[in-house]
Copies of this chain bind each other. A is one copy, B any other.
Amino acid sequence: MVSKTLDTPYYAVIFTSRRSDVEEGYQKAAQRMLELAAQQEGFLHVDSVRQHGHGITVSYWRDLESINRWKQQAEHLQAQQQGKDEWYTSYQVRICKVERDYDFDMQRDIPTL
């Protein structure tokens, strides 16, 4: 799930959330949204981690237009509404321009002797 570096600049949507205790429909919808996002034009990558009801999902996009289209996608709009009504007690969305990135990979950066 961990993405490699991409050609900057690109855009990130940081979605931090706190879950309610409503489980019904959540897992399936969350998985469906990850899959649906990946099919959108301009989508680059997504990383998502949840622990003790706190989640961080970061999706990466080629440009702001792609992010706006995804926000207005019909099935996604429905999930956003259900998210507010049932699955989340609070969340934050941050739209970011990724200006610089770098990475470390043990297998590449620490050659075995």
Contact = CB atoms under 8 A, between A and B. Distances in A.
A41 to B, nearest CB: 21
Interface in A10-36: 12, 14, 16-18, 20
Contacts of A5: 92
A88 interface: yes
B103 A92 contact: yes
Taking the full assembly, how many copies of this chain does it contain? 2
Question: Main secondary structure on chain A at its contact with chain B?
Answer: strand
Interface string A77-88: 000000011001
A33 to B, nearest CB: 16
Contacts of A3: 16, 92
Interface string A91-106: 1111111111111111
